[in-house]
Structure 1
Amino acid sequence: MEAGVPHAGGAVSQSWWSRVWQNHAPGYLFLIPWLVGFLGLTIGPIITSFYLSFTDFDLLTAPEWVGASNYIRMFTADPKFIASMQVTLTFVLFSVPLKLAFALGVALLLNRGMRGLPLYRALFYLPSLLGASVAIAILWRQLFAGDGLVNDFLSVFGIQGPSWISNPRYSLWTLIILSIWQFGSPMIIFLAGLRQIPQDMYEAASLDGASRWRQFWKITLPLLTPVVFFNAIIQTIEAFKSFTPAFIISAGTGNPINSTLFYTLYLYQEAFGFFRMGYASALAWFLLLLVACFTAFSFLTSKYWVHYDD
């Protein structure tokens, strides 16, 4: 082999890399801000929080390694963890199905071709944009207070309503109603899915004498199951992450009697109320694991009820 061949190959390789860099350098340069943010604000904090979940850390002193003590305490010696899980699971189990059912009902009405559809679609989507804001949470607290608008309306019919947000029997349901009110996002997605169903299937079913109710169960719902599946995943994850309404309405305490102590609110209390950052990191990782398990279970069971074109 001639001595100049490797040198030539190296020159070719160097020339190839030079051409690649010249062709793609602008793209890499534009990606640098995103890469810095992704590594510094996403990957870095994720790795750091995983490490801190095995430590005792109060933000003021150096983290002290405690192994799995945070996780052991979580499952064996923390009644507020159990209470927050009960509240959160109750919220998820009721708010998500009711929100999806309400969103689907509104989407079916809008799909009938009424006048001013873009206006109605925008108005119904508006709560999804505003519902998670602090202002709406404050307004909701005023509506369901003892002297709020809801009780003023009930008094017209001679009904004396309780202070909904300070009564542990009803406080969580006020947050569930607020979640259902934010139905705009899944409604838009349902409406897009309804527009994809061929109309000739409904015409054939009508000729066979199928009622609208039977058409819904035999045509609309089966063909809409991929959209239902997508909305269920997204809305469940959002429900697990819900924080602002519970924080504002309960003034950050989760009261009355921990009836609105969402898991995220309890995590916030541990991290920024008691400065137990190590334990809060363990709580955050358990929440991630819980959401991941739910998502994996949903995908595993989807083959039994989600119907695609094939």
Structure 2
Amino acid sequence: MSHSDYSFTVDPAALGLPSRDELVDMRIWDSHYHGTGSHEEIVKYIKRMGIERVISLDIGGGVTSEDPERDKRHRSLLKEWRKLLSGITRIDPGYPHKSLKKMERWIRNGPCIGIKYSGLIELDVTCDHPNSDPIIELAEELGAVIYIHTWIKVGGNPRYAGGGNYTGESTPMDVAKLAERFPDVQMICGHQGGDWELGIRAIRPHENVLLEFSGALPTSGAVDLAVNELGTDRLVWGGHGPSRSYANELSKVYDADLSDEERMKIFGTNYRRLAAPIMREKGYSVKI
């Protein structure tokens, strides 16, 4: 890809937006990437937006979805795109023993750097269930990144926040309960729970919980509230591509009243600090 392919149709400066060079200077790490299945098509957009590294949340599929050919493709992809792409693997607290075996295969003896609690759990078991204890203990031993999908859907009869969630789909309140049991283990609360005002406040007392805010609409003020309540050291950034655009997700941080140093923390420094030990163990050179 030539440098000309990175140009934008409209001059970003004319709209008060950052140039590609300015985005590159931010050293952006995308902690929430779903483009594994079409990576070769998407990578041009990753590079065009100056993203330094993307973290796939889909490596190895679910714990009950055996597919040797898929696993072979995923390992090959992580090897071929090692300078740009890292991966974490999905676990399921409904199947703790299978989850532990998967972590051994993909993290201890494989290329992955962490685990993801998915939003599509087969059984009605959220992240705070006791089944999670051996999973978190092994993750701590491995130094693995822990990402937990969370959402707060209104539903039920009578209706309440969280009453419309999928079976086994965790909320930030569930993350708070898990974090209280493991105060020395850092974990990421994904999507800010969808409802950012409730999600931010749910995890606020637990300093071992970082907040990731991809996937929702780019509401002005959401990141400002998160910074006011949690501080910039507890936020990480995700692009949620290809189902969300980088413009959508980048705008949340650029909308906030932040210095460039604070933006850099959110865009990548905080995630690099979290992931650096296991990445260095895997042979990556990580400059925080």
Shorter-normalised TM range: under 0.3
From the CA coordinates, give the structure whose radius of gyration is larger: 1
TM-score computed with the length of structure 2 as normaliser: 0.27
TM-score with structure 1 setting the length? 0.25
Q: Comparing both structures, which one devotes a greater share of its residues to strand?
A: 2
- Higher RCO (CA-CA < 8 Å; seq separation 6+): 1
The structure whose residues are more often helix, as a share, is 1
